[in-house]
Amino acid sequence: MTMRLHGILGKSDDAAFARRLHHLEHHDGIELLFVPPADVGRKRFRLTTDRGTDCAVSLDRDEELTDGALLFLASDRAIIARFGEQESWRLTPVDQAAALRLGWNAGNLHWRVRFDGDSLVVLLDGPLDTYRARIRPLLESGEVVERDAVR
Amino acid sequence: MNRLSLNGTMAKSRIAAARVGIGGPVGSGKTALVERLIPALLERGVDIAVITNDLVTAEDAERIRRSGLIDPARVSAVEAGACPHTVIREDPTLNIEAADELERRFPGVELILLESGGDNLASTFSRDLTDFWMFVIDVAGGDDIPRKRGPGVIRADLLVINKVDLAPHVGVNIERMRQEALAVRGNRPVLLTNCRRGEGIDAIVDLLEREVLFRT
Ligand SMILES: Nc1nc2c(ncn2[C@@H]2O[C@H](COP(=O)(O)OP(=O)(O)OP(=O)(O)O)[C@@H](O)[C@H]2O)c(=O)[nH]1
Ligand SMILES: [Mg+2]
């Protein structure tokens, strides 16, 4: 299904939205719409969110799309524009015990992840170092190996 | 949630018309394409208007007004004065004003086609002016045009290769030209047309309906 969106509701880091967005984060309700650099100046574009929702977006002529612009907000879901492409971080646990611990951490940290064979691909929403810091003991002990920080 | 709805049933109240640019080298068939797009869009019920850019005349606007394809009042001319790319890229204010003015006079207009004056391979449209732009080249210009990687060819949202009917006469391998165009464009859309006979126009309108008008 296509979401027809018009206009920017605000910035996703506005205090006014903080509570609702935080709640949605905990209920898997945040979708990111990655906007490639070439499309940033557009007033009309059609792109798919990280969850696969087809979005047909238009803006008013005097509106400027910004990184973090909130495009949709409802009780069960929000759609936020993100500039650039999705960065990801691939982690491979050395054994089952390490995998359990990594999975437990990632879940409790509400990281957005994809499973890829024997590795966990973390979809980054912020600087890699802040992610590293959360599981530093696992990395330092060698239980979890960083494969690559690629897009 | 007042501003939106699912599946395009939004109140059509005040959403600006989509602005679609058509650029390309001199004589590649930009006006011919406009003359083909007008009836094709009207047939699909799209409310349209047209802006043409020429150096110091309104030649193309007059041609379209006289064509009988569209209400002549819906065709505006902007005289670029100097370099055609200035008014679509560096300072598009004249064209933006012309588009705003068409929207004021025809409040229901959904799509404004904007033909740039003929230029070279480097011309591109400002995103402030158009939401989507196509670059029209023709096979008679040579099948090496895509390989030359001009910004128009590379960056346009759609590359149109026109005058495919001439391919046999100028010794151009059209399929190879298309493949090379796709390669330099990272597989972004490339469509073939024969504007003299109206071939390939529907595929362009399909793309506009999906990417710009959000009808499908
Ligand atoms: N054979 C053939 N001729 C075409 C085709 N499309 C356009 N032409 C001819 O090419 C010439 C130039 O076409 P125009 O539509 O005026 O080209 P343009 O790009 O608008 O030209 P400028 O605005 O002057 O840059 C005309 O004589 C057209 O009849 C086509 O698909 N095949
Ligand atoms: Mg012309």
**Alpha-helix runs per DSSP H in A2-144:** 15-26, 96-108, 128-134, 136-140
Q: Do A4 and B214 touch (CB under 8 A)?
A: yes
Question: What residues are paired with A133 via a beta bridge?
Answer: none
Instruction: For residue B48, give how far its alpha carbon lies from the nearest alpha carbon of chain A (Å).
Output: 17
- Residue B64 φ/ψ, nearest 5 degrees: -70, -40
CB A30 within 8 A of CB A78: yes
Q: What is the pLDDT of residue A149?
A: 56
Q: Which residues of chain B have pLDDT under 70?
A: 1-14, 82
Nearest to B4 among A6, A42, A60 (CB): A6
CB A146 within 8 A of CB A89: yes
Give B109 Cα–ligand 1 centroid separation in angstroms: 27
Burial class (CB in 10 A: 0-12, 13-18, 19+), A107: exposed
Q: Which residues of chain A have pLDDT under 50?
A: 151
ipTM, interface predicted TM-score of the complex: 0.80
E strands, chain B, in order: 5-6, 18-23, 48-54, 75-79, 111-115, 132-138, 158-162, 190-192
Nearest CA residue ID for atom 1, ligand 1:
B163
Flag whether residue A4 sits within 8 Å of chain B, measured between CB atoms: yes
| Ligand 1 atom index nearest CA of B118 | 25
Instruction: For residue A53, give how far its alpha carbon lies from the nearest alpha carbon of chain B (Å).
Output: 12
| Ligand 1 atom index nearest CA of B194 | 31
Full-prediction pTM beyond 0.80? yes
Q: What is the pLDDT of residue A127?
A: 84
Q: Do B3 and A4 touch (CB under 8 A)?
A: no
Q: What is the pLDDT of residue B2?
A: 37
Q: What is the pLDDT of residue B198?
A: 97
CB B47 within 8 A of CB B113: no
Q: How far apart are CA A87 and CA A67, in angstroms?
A: 15
